[in-house]
Structure 1
Amino acid sequence: MPQRRASKPQQQHLQHRDTHFRTPVAGTRWRVASLYAWIALSVLFLPSPASAHSGTGLQGGLAAGFAHPFSGTDHMLAMLSVGLWGAILGRPLITLLPMVFPAVMAVGGVLGIAGVPIPPVELGIAMSVLVLGGLVLGAVRPPIWAACIIVAFFAVFHGYAHGQELPSAADPVGYSAGFVVATGFLHLIGIGIGTIRDWPGGANALRCAGGLVALCGALFLGQAL
């Protein structure tokens, strides 16, 4: 039997019902993104020393390693920028960049433990904040391989700085694991904040955030020179 076509009032009711069921989804996205934003803001205003890469060595294990990335604004901003840039670039880099950075950072940590000489570490870390913030500001979209190389290059400096501290830690393995987990967590926060790109004015807000990060990077660079 042919199906009866819904009358106009019925169509309006069905449309209203569909809108009603979609609204909580949008509200959930808003709440999740807001949670990420509040977490990021809380992290940014945590007390931090002048430099988290003094090379004096840290005592502790997993908990100390997890807490350490949050004690340095330079490392924190670089990690958030990797997540923000990945969110702007989309698939596959939104998942690839947060995988490349910790992996190469571990290699840098090994170089730091071994004492292999590399260019000035503080200079490389400051440049990472400046460049990654600039990439977010400009919404730069390089090829996949180029984006991975950029992130991997700066990951070496971040890993090397903390690798120098590992030998004096009470539990180097636990400390390393905590540090890598915290780094991934900061990447996820950046990705979460980056979801606002689909909102009205969200893309401009992300670019402004990138500009602020780049400005901080320029200040760090001035201190490192």
Structure 2
Amino acid sequence: MMHRRWIALLILFCTPAIALAHPGHDHAGLGAGFLHPLSGLDHLLVLLGIGFWAARSRTMRGALLVGAAVLPALASGFAIGLAQGPLPVIEFGIVASVLLTGLLVGAGTRLPTLFTAAVAAGFAILHGFAHGAGMAAGMAAGLSSGAFLGGFLLASSLLLATGALAAGLTRNETLERPARHATGGALVVASVYLLIAV
């Protein structure tokens, strides 16, 4: 039965009907950069999920290391996207990052700290790239990327912290498993929605 579910999921990922998660947002200034991660379901959920996963599976020091890896990766991805411009294939990677974060959270997967940080940073590069590629059009219109990136990273750090706080609040034995399953399940469902939404 589980075998059939994985096949169905693979078929979904091979379909061309994918939701572009970054359609025409405003790219002017610090405020726009701050609101940008909060208005994209993919970015919002993956950062909350990474914060939750890191705090649930790591010591506080380890969770901080994961968070410290995510923000530079977002900035690096943003710079690459700004230079490159849009690549439609990145959207598949973004949806996959939401799905994989959901699976990692839901299963309660514990990986070595450096590997956790590397996985989280890889996801962050994809998300940063998409936002930087979206900003490339704004640069052509004369907008500056510096203030936008500052707001973008500030909101992203708050989302990571919120996910970690949610993990901390549900750390007792009664809430741990339901919270983990609900969070992971929501991310998996959201990844399917992002994939098929038009």
TM-score (norm 2): 0.80
**C-alpha separation in 2, matches of 1:149 and 1:113:** 22
CA contact (8 A) 1:88 1:197 kept: no
Contact 1:97-1:151 within 8 A present in 2 as well: yes
- 1:113: how far off? 1.2
Name the residue aligned to 2:52. Answer: 84
Q: Could you tell me how far apart the structure 2 residues matched to 1:116 and 1:107 are?
A: 14
Question: Quick one: distance in 1 between partners of 2:36 and 2:87?
Answer: 22
1:59 to 17, 27, 33: 27
Residues 43-58 of structure 1: pairs in structure 2 closer than 5 A: 51-54=20-23, 56=24, 58=26
Percent identical across equivalent pairs? 31
State whether residues 129 and 217 of structure 1, in contact with CA within 8 Å, keep that contact through their aligned partners in structure 2: yes
The match for 1:219 among 183, 193, 198 is: 193
Separation in 1 of the partners of 2:156 and 2:69? 12
Match of 1:210 in 2: 184
Root-mean-square deviation (CA, aligned residues, Å) is 2.1
Mapping 1:1-225, distance limit 5 Å: 51-54=20-23, 56=24, 58-91=26-59, 92-115=61-84, 120-167=89-136, 168=138, 170-208=143-181, 209-223=183-197
What are the ranges of 5 or more consecutive residues in structure 2 without an aligned counterpart? 1-18
- The count of corresponding residues between Structure 1 and Structure 2 is 174
Kept in 2: contact 1:113–1:166 (CA 8 A): yes
> Residues 127 and 221 of structure 1 are in contact (CA less than 8 Å); yes or no, is this contact kept in structure 2?
no
What whole-Å deviation, never above 9, does each CA across 1:135-183 have from its counterpart, x for those lacking one? 0100100112221221111111101001112231533100000000000
Aligned residue for 1:58, secondary structure, equals coil
1:200 positional shift: 3.8
- Name the amino acid aligned to 1:211: G
Mark the structure with the bigger radius of gyration: 1
Measure the CA separation in 2 of the matches of 1:107 and 1:164: 12
Listed as ranges, the gaps of 5+ residues in structure 1 are: 1-49
Q: Which amino acid aligns with 1:180?
A: L
